[in-house]
């Protein structure tokens, strides 16, 4: 039976990880968080104080990122160490945007991502899944929301985990800066694939957003 691939792309803070995970669970597919892979590499480069492209490339041969599923929950392992929580800080977010612009880093992870999609039905989210990683995906969704709404959601999430770490204004500035980095980078910039369906969740809650994505899948897959 052919594996079904669903590509979910979109800007930072659009809710890709949460919604892609819920979509995968609803469809019975494997969820692949490619952003977490880049975050893991970024986290390692920060720990090693690798501040330029050459230093990052030097580290790649000793970086091994794997995804493990425990009771249906994805865990991110960096050289065997579970880094699922520590890679979710604002500092790692910005570092992930920088390292993902390095061609060698993208190449390092590309084969692993495609292999996962070839072996099983997946919902894979990121910045260039529909345009580069899985250009032949049966379903492509470009998930977005206004910068202000994305910042609001991220700020509330941060406040629950680490109150007072950032103000809303600082989070909004980070979102805008991340958008600029992701859309203007030379290698695989963030953009909507020509055959992707735009899903704007600015005025939708989590359940409504999930239903919008499910509707796209039902139409494309005939389920």
pLDDT for 151-188, tens place per residue? 999 999 888 888 888 899 999 999 999 899 888 888 77
| Enclosing domain of residue 191 | 5-217
Domain membership of residue 223 (yes or no) is no
3 state DSSP class of 158: helix
Strand order in the sheet with 197-200: 30-33, 122-126, 5-9, 139-144, 197-200
How far is the C-alpha of 1 from the C-alpha of 100, rounded, in Å?
Answer: 33
The tokens 């991110």 sit on which residue?
76
- When divided into structural domains, the chain yields a total of 1
Average pLDDT over residues 111-121: 88
**Residue 114 resides in a domain:** yes
pTM of the model: 0.80
Does residue 56 sit within a domain? yes
Kindly report the average pLDDT of the chain as a whole number: 91
How many Cα atoms within 13 Å fall on the side-chain side of residue 192?
11
CATH number at residue 45: 3.40.50.300
């Amino acid at each position: 039976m052919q594996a079904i691939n669903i590509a979910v792309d979109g800007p930072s803070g659009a809710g890709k990880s949460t919604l892609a995970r819920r979509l995968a669970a609803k469809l019975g597919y494997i969820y692949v968080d490619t952003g977490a892979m880049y975050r893991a590499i970024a986290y390692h480069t920060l720990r090693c104080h690798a501040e330029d492209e050459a230093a990052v490339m030097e580290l790649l041969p000793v970086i091994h990122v794997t995804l493990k599923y425990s009771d249906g929950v994805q865990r991110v392992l960096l050289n065997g160490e579970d880094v699922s929580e520590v890679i979710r800080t604002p500092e790692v977010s910005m570092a992930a945007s920088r390292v993902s612009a390095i061609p060698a880093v993208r190449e390092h992870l590309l084969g692993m991502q495609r292999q996962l999609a070839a072996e099983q039905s997946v919902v894979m989210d990121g910045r260039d899944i529909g345009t580069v990683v899985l250009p032949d995906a049966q379903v492509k969704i470009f998930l977005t929301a206004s910068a202000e709404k994305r910042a609001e959601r991220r700020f509330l999430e941060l406040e629950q985990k680490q109150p007072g770490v950032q103000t809303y204004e600082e989070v909004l500035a980070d979102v805008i800066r991340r958008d600029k980095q992701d859309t203007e980078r030379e290698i695989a910039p963030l953009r909507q694939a020509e055959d992707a369906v735009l899903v704007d969740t600015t005025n939708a809650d989590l359940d409504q957003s999930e239903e919008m994505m499910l509707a796209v899948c039902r139409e494309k897959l005939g389920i």
